[in-house]
Amino acid sequence: MTEGKTKVRLLEGIRVLDLSRIIAGPFCSQILGDMGAEVIKVEQPGVGDDSRTWGPPFKNGESAYFFCINRNKKSITVDMKDSRGKAIIRELAKRSDVLLENFKPGTLAKLGLDWDVLGQENPRLIFCSISGFGRTGPSADRGGYDVIVQAMGGLMGITGEPDGAPVKVGVAMTDICTALYAHGAILAALYARDRTGVGQRIDVSLLETQIAALINIASSYLNAGEIPGKWGTAHVNIVPYQAFRMQDGSMIIGAANDRLWVKLCEAIGLPEVGRDPRYATNAQRVAHRDEIVRRLEARLATKTRKEWETILAPTGIPCGPINRMDEVFADPQVQHLEIVLEAEHPTAGTIRMVRNPVSFSLTPVDLRQVPPRLGEHTEEVLHGLLGYSAAEVEALRAAGVV
């Protein structure tokens, strides 16, 4: 994946002090690590990030969940409640470009490790805080978990079958979107620092991210007062644009304009439906949603997903089977993109991960460090970066500080 590229990585020379845990923060710092930043992940001695315990599945005692959000990082363990541990964090912050944290608002202030302190000691520091509901306000102290914010932020209320209960998205999408916003904000702040010479504080919350991610749903309510229901796989504004059941499963088909509508009907052997003046425009098709879906379902149920895909895909009609995980990674296009990384882990053995999905023409985005064992790099960082002697590190270890 890096043939013909330079040896200089995008964020080479940038150090990230990662105090975050669970999903949103670690996923953000993993992106920065993939792009070449040195990421120092700080974990609680003897315990570590909660995601280390999330399973099954485990591989030789290591959590598969932890693997997906913690590559390209160094792990150190520090008790931040101990004065000696606080001193380590402050020294690391002075030597870092970015600090990332997702503690409950106010936690780091009580420890004397918040922006007001660390930003004074390192004016070039970019201090990114991820919270559930924002740093201030009546809900600031609430625990911010993805599924809670999916519910409170409106996503769960529009997800599920029309006559069924609300359901969450199958992965922690609010966490992932928050991580993406945070990583973009950090890059923008680094760019601004190049021009101003100073860092700044960044605040991003799961709730704000979730509401921003409602896009057209939020806009329809704010501008037209519409309160949408649940549409399953269907689209509230476009028909047909949903899953259709076939002989061996279901496929998504989307005819998002009048030209594709006619082409779809011709391709599946219903040209008269495509020419029916009652269905000529998308607005008319939305009005006749139920009868259109019934007619298409009856026809599409006569073949398998592969048979219909072979017919529809070459015509340019957007379509795709609803795949299981084994089908996803067996897909020829997925295999062509080489999206799976394979590496040797010191305790888990051979592990496989989904690579960073972005490719650059000149600079590599690659795997330099498998997900670290708990505290694997503590001595390396304390000795090599902060200048602690072996005796000092051993004393800290004996006291449980690291």
**Model confidence over 269-309: pLDDT tens digits?**
999 999 999 999 999 999 999 999 999 999 999 999 999 99
Contact 103, 70 (CB under 8 A): no
Does residue 128 or residue 1 have the better pLDDT?
A: 128
Question: In 271-336, which ranges are continuous DSSP H helix?
Answer: 271-275, 282-287, 289-300, 305-312, 325-330, 332-336
How far is 69 from 52, CA to CA, in rounded Å? Answer: 11
125-144 tens-digit pLDDT: 999 999 999 999 999 999 88
Q: Is the pLDDT of residue 1 over 70?
A: no
How large is the average pLDDT for residues 163-183?
96
Q: Which of 370, 388, 391, 371 is nearest to 380 (CA)?
A: 388
Three-state secondary structure along 103-148? CCCCHHHHHCCCHHHHHHHCCCCEEEEEECCCCCCCCCCCCCCHHH
The CATH code of the domain at 15-213+336-398 is 3.40.50.10540
The yes-or-no answer to whether 15-213+336-398 and 241-323 have a common fold is no
Q: Is the pLDDT of residue 255 over 70?
A: yes
Longest dimension (CA), the chain: 85
Q: Is the pLDDT of residue 107 over 60?
A: yes
- Residues comprising the chain, all counted: 402
pTM of the full predicted structure? 0.93
Q: Is the pLDDT of residue 3 over 60?
A: no
From residue 68, alpha-carbon distances to 216, 356, 370, 371 in Å are 30, 11, 10, 8
What pairing do the DSSP bridges indicate for beta strands 38-43 and 15-18?
Answer: parallel
Q: Is the pLDDT of residue 2 over 50?
A: no
**Residue of 49, 116, 175, 203 marked active site:** 175
9-55 tens-digit pLDDT: 999 999 999 999 999 999 999 999 999 999 999 999 999 999 999 99
Hey, where are the domains in the chain? 15-213+336-398, 241-323
Q: Is the pLDDT of residue 8 over 90?
A: no
Predicted confidence band of residue 322 (pLDDT cuts 50, 70, 90): very high
Q: Give the CATH superfamily of 241-323.
A: formyl-coa transferase, domain 3 (3.30.1540.10)
- How many helices (H) and strands (E) are present in the chain, helices listed first? 18, 13
Omega within 30 of 0 (cis) for the link into 318:
no
How far is 16 from 35, CA to CA, in rounded Å? Answer: 12
Taken in order 328, 330, 333, 338, is the CA torsion positive or negative? positive
How far is 27 from 124, CA to CA, in rounded Å? Answer: 23
Strand ranges across the sheet with 241-246: 241-246, 249-254, 319-321
Q: Per the structure block, which two tokens stand in for 119? A: 């930003």
Q: Is the pLDDT of residue 200 over 90?
A: yes
How large is the average pLDDT for residues 168-172?
95
Whether 175 is catalytic = yes
Distance of CA 82 to the CA centre of its chain: 33
Q: How many CA atoms lie within 13 A of 128 on its CB side?
A: 32
How large is the average pLDDT for residues 372-389?
97
- The label of the residue with tokens 């002075």 reads 94
Hey, is 36 helix, strand or coil?
A: coil
Q: Which of 376, 303, 401 is nearest to 52 (CA)?
A: 376
Q: Per the structure block, which two tokens stand in for 304? A: 């398998």
